[in-house]
Chain A
Amino acid sequence: MENNSGKDIKRITCFLPKGAGIRLVEMLHVEKNIDATNVHTGRGLRTVESVKDYGAWSEQDVLTVVVDAERAEEVFEFIFFQGELNKPGGGFIYLTPLIKASHYTLPSIEG
């Protein structure tokens, strides 16, 4: 069983409309084989673009993904487009480096 700590690691965080977080977690698992994800909920105040946006709190998902630096760009782009962050009200995504992170790999159970 491997449980190494990695040093060249990035964290991707995104603020998403409610419900989009879990959908992305599943997509990251199936399509990118990434399981170092976490989703929690909060409330968000979006950028004011019209009068109706004033004081308009909405429920939001906050998705956090820890990835190797070499895959960071690919995963960033994947989340941006699959999470439809390129559309109005789609949310916000950012990337930040980490100093150190645990890196757990599931053991192979095949005989």
Chain B
Amino acid sequence: MSLREITVLTDIALITCIVQRGVADTIIQAAREAGAQGATVHFARGMGVRERLGILGVAVEVEKEVIDIVVSKEQVERVFERMYLAGNLDTPGMGIMYITSLEKAATYIPPDVLGKFSSDKDEKAPKESC
């Protein structure tokens, strides 16, 4: 592969998960067990359900962690479900998550991985008979 080539990845999705600070590592662990390759986390400050819970709102952390995970569309449902369960997102105040469809993406892909995909493609291509 020359340095001026981009291997474009398609059929991928971004899972974004906003949770209370300190919970991200558990969710990422679950996502990786379900097949996610990597994750990015940043801090944020959020409000919403905390204010609506009244006195119980003190149990909800104001500081949040925002997790971004890019996965293939094949994996997205499985990873999403595992993250949802790991973060207990069915409990009010625990957080929210959503999926964004991505048009395309790119990154460094090791030559051996690229070679494997191109050889798979060659095998699947119909062979001409003489």
A interface, CB within 8 angstroms of B: 10, 15, 40-49, 60, 62, 76-77, 80-81, 85-97
Contacts and interface: CB of A to CB of B under 8 A. Distances in A.
A13 to B, nearest CB: 8
A90 B107 contact: yes
A87 B40 contact: no
B106 A93 contact: yes
Interface stretch (B51-59, B96-104, B119-127): B96-104
A96 B107 contact: no
A81 B2 CA distance: 12
Contacts of A95: 102-105
Interface string B11-42: 01010000000000000100010000111111
27 contacts: A15-B68, A41-B42, A42-B66, A43-B42, A44-B38, A44-B40, A44-B41, A46-B38, A47-B37, A76-B104, A76-B106, A81-B3, A86-B3, A86-B5, A87-B108, A88-B110, A89-B108, A90-B107, A92-B70, A93-B105, A94-B70, A94-B105, A95-B103, A95-B105, A96-B102, A96-B103, A97-B103
Given A42-B40, A85-B107, 6 more contacts: A43-B40, A43-B41, A43-B42, A45-B39, A62-B68, A81-B3
Contacts of B106: 76, 80, 85, 92-94
B47 interface: no
Interface residues on B, range: 20 to 34
A96 B101 CA distance: 7
A45 B38 contact: yes
Contacts of B116: none
B85 interface: no
Given A15-B40, A42-B40, A44-B38, A94 B108 contact: no
